[in-house]
Amino acid sequence: MKLRKLVRVLHRDIGYFCVGMTVFFCVSGIAVNHIDDWNPSYSRSVEEIDLGALAGTTLDELQDEVVAKAALDPDDVAGRHRPERGVFIVFLPHGGEAKVRTSDGRGTVVRIESRPFLFESNVLHLNHIKGLWTYVSDAFAVLLLTLALTGLFILKGKQGLGGRGKWFTAAGILLPLGFIVFYYTSRT
């Protein structure tokens, strides 16, 4: 098999294989790039509640009362706390909470829930899994590098690397280099 034909075959087949993982990494990458604007893995909602004065006196009684009156799932309760007299907090998953004043039962329920697809994509992209996934992710990076390099040699002549391709390749190299130079020169 000729070298150019092998390059085309590799480029095509690796490209097909990489489509799914590329979608996961791209969606997660865009989400994580804007982490200063929002939490890409979790959504947060706050609900004002008025449960009426709480009658419980022990932590167990207060917890049972708040869970029942606020219609919380008892299995979601991760703990409770009475940080000061007249305030009671029930801890919910992922850092959520139901916080109420015991005197009048007014307070808030903060629910934090994972964002479908984005949470899982971010777990993969940020490599929270570790272990075998690290090697899968490294292999994907090698495949993308192979895809980029074989792509340079798909076309010949004016449309290939010897023609207009060199300008696009140069621009793709100069763009990140320009940002790096700008970043380091603007810090001084």
Identify the pLDDT of residue 174: 97
Identify the pLDDT of residue 138: 96
For residue 47, the surrounding DSSP H or E stretch is strand 42-50
CA distance 22 to 119: 16
Identify the pLDDT of residue 149: 95
Residue partners of 127: CB distance under 8 A and separation at least 6: 133, 134, 137
Identify the pLDDT of residue 187: 85
pTM for the whole structure: 0.74
Query: % helix / strand / coil in the chain, to the nearest 5?
Result: 55, 20, 30
| Tokens (6 digits) for 17 | 């294989």
CA distance 10 to 147: 8
**Tokens 């990140």 belong to which residue?**
176
| Residuewise pLDDT in 10s, the chain (188 residues) | 798 899 999 999 999 999 999 999 999 999 999 999 999 999 999 999 999 999 998 999 999 999 999 999 999 999 999 999 999 999 999 999 999 999 999 999 999 999 999 999 999 999 999 999 999 999 999 999 999 999 999 998 999 999 999 999 999 999 999 999 999 999 87
| Tokens (6 digits) for 39 | 């939490």
H-type alpha helices, the chain: 3-33, 59-69, 118-125, 132-151, 165-186
Identify the pLDDT of residue 85: 92
| Tokens (6 digits) for 134 | 């690290």
